[in-house]
Structures are given as structure tokens and as C-alpha cells.
């Protein structure tokens, strides 16, 4: 397993962005220097993301491209076929990282089947690396124990100041899995948080930048979503901020276990 430091430290999330919006977002991000783009089958924007990458003029080998398989495609042959479709839509021979978007709801598909299929997709060259998303501690342990699981490099989970997700983060890191944190800005809620705005003032930064710095300083890859070039640039610059131990501790206290991504098919989360 080689999870640590294989992903660029910051990427562009594309959830909820479609058509020209996602093309513009990816285009400006690549112009600003982003080299990590995160999409998914469920976002229904793979073709537009691929178009933006192709038009950007940035060499394919310089871009770290992630997609995710939706849980209705977890049967062995269907999972592999779905990644072939994703590569076609994205206009690439392979993605840099293929993730399982969620554990199979109610274990409808046995984990051994879809972890095995994902490992096979990697062997076929459809994905350079493989990983999981929204897996709990118990599910991480099961996934790692299965054939194919030895190649998992990341668990992509929700992480922001109101959901530190500490137990799961530390468990993944102890197991050698890189953690990727999605929704690091808590869909904008961080902007008005008094502790964050106060710390931001001390760094001549914004509350959003402080939130991103806090996530990144925990050795977590951040994939904020933004359509505005000025925000994308600010997000990149957030990684230059170094927070003191005291500032980190003050932000730690904002954790109230507030989960934004919690659909009815979600697993039983770790406390």
C-alpha cells in the first residue's frame, strides 16, 4: 500500500457543476496551476471535464484525474464496464485514481466483489491507482483485508472544521491510506465562523483559507469546489498558511460532528 503523498495536496472538486459551468471552472483552475481534478460518474459531468482538460493545452501526464464509480455499478463486470465508460467520456486511456463512491448500501453487493473488481480495473490499466470514499473504520479494515485492497491509496471523506472526523482520519493514516477531505469549506459555512475570521485576520487571510489550511495541516488532501477564479486562486494560496498549535487547537474545538453529506444510503458512521 502506498497511500501517503501520492495525491497532489489540493485539487478542484466538481460536484454540482455541469456543462459550461464545469468547463469554465476546470479551465480557470488549470490556468491557475491546479493539477488535480476530481469528478464522479454521479456528477454527470465527466464529458465536460474531459473537454476542458483537452482544450487546456496542459499535457495529460501533468494532470491527476480522479473519478468515482457509483454504487449501482458495483457488480464485477458492470464496475469494469462503468470505468471503461468513464475513460471514454473523459477522453483518456486511464484515470489516475478510481474511487468507490460509497460502500454498497446494506451490503447488497459483497465488498469482496467490488473491491476485487476495482483491483482488476487497475490491472487492466483503466486506473493507475484505486481508492474508496465514505468508508467507515470497520469498512476500511474489511476493504484492506480483501484481494485488491492492498492497492488502495485513499479514503475520500467529509472533513471541515465542524466535522473533524478525527477517529476515521487517524485510523486511515495509521493504515497508510492518504485521506482526501471533501467539502472542506462546509459549503460556505466556514465564511462567517468567528474563530476562523479572527484567526484569518491575524494571517491577512480569509476564513475559507484558514479552514483549508487547518485541513491541509492535518496531512489531508483538500478538494474545494469553486467556479470563480479569484476563489480558486485564494484556495491555492491557503496552502502557504502555517497555523500555530494554538490556532489549530482553537479550530479543533469547532468540531460538532456536523455532517453535510449524509444520504439515506450512508453507512453507520463512526462516532
**Residue 101, annotated as binding a ligand:** yes
Catalytic annotation on 43? yes
Helix (H) or strand (E) holding 235: helix 229-237
8 A C-beta contact, residue 73 and residue 41: yes
What is the DSSP secondary-structure string of the chain?
A: ---TT-S-SB-EE-TT--HHHHHHHHHHHHHHT--EEE--GGGT-HHHHHHHHHHH---GGG-EEEEEE-GGG-SHHHHHHHHHHHHHHHT-S-EEEEEESSPPGGGSS-HHHHHHHHHHHHHTTSEEEEEEES--HHHHHHHHHSTTGGGEEEEEEE-BTTB--HHHHHHHHHTTPEEEEESTTGGGGGGG-HHHHHHHHHTT--HHHHHHHHHHTTTEEE--B-S-HHHHHHHHHGGG----HHHHHHHHTT-----S---TT------
d(CA 141, CA 226): 33
Q: Which residue is catalytic, options 34, 43, 74, 114?
A: 43
Give the three-class secondary structure for 267: coil
Catalytic residues: 43
Known binding-site positions: 101
Binding residues for substrate: 101
Amino acid at each position: 500500500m502506498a497511500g501517503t503523498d501520492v495525491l497532489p495536496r489540493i485539487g478542484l472538486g466538481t460536484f454540482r457543476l455541469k456543462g459550461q459551468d464545469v468547463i469554465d471552472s476546470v479551465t480557470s483552475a488549470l490556468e491557475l496551476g491546479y493539477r488535480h481534478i476530481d469528478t464522479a460518474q454521479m456528477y454527470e459531468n465527466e464529458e465536460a471535464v474531459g473537454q476542458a482538460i483537452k482544450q487546456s493545452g496542459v499535457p495529460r501526464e501533468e494532470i491527476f484525474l480522479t473519478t468515482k464509480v457509483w454504487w449501482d455499478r458495483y457488480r464485477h463486470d458492470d464496475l469494469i464496464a462503468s470505468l471503461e465508460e468513464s475513460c471514454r467520456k473523459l477522453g483518456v486511456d486511464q484515470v489516475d485514481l478510481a474511487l468507490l463512491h460509497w460502500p454498497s448500501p446494506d451490503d447488497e453487493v459483497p465488498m469482496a466483489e467490488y473491491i476485487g473488481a476495482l483491483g482488476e480495473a487497475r490491472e487492466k490499466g483503466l486506473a493507475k491507482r484505486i481508492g474508496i470514499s465514505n468508508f467507515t473504520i470497520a469498512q476500511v479494515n474489511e476493504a484492506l483485508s480483501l484481494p485488491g485492497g492492498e492497492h488502495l491509496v485513499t479514503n475520500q471523506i467529509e472533513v471541515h472544521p465542524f466535522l473533524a472526523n478525527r477517529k476515521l482520519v487517524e485510523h486511515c493514516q495509521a493504515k497508510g491510506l492518504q485521506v482526501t477531505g471533501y467539502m472542506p469549506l462546509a459549503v460556505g459555512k466556514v465564511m462567517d465562523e468567528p474563530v476562523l475570521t479572527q484567526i484569518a485576520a491575524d494571517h491577512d487571510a480569509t476564513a475559507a483559507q484558514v479552514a483549508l489550511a487547518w485541513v491541509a495541516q492535518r496531512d489531508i488532501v483538500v478538494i474545494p469546489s469553486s467556479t470563480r477564479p479569484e476563489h480558486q486562486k485564494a484556495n491555492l494560496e491557503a496552502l502557504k498558511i502555517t497555523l500555530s498549535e494554538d490556532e489549530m487547537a482553537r479550530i479543533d474545538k469547532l468540531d460538532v460532528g456536523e455532517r453535510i453529506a449524509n444520504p439515506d444510503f450512508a453507512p453507520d458512521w463512526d462516532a
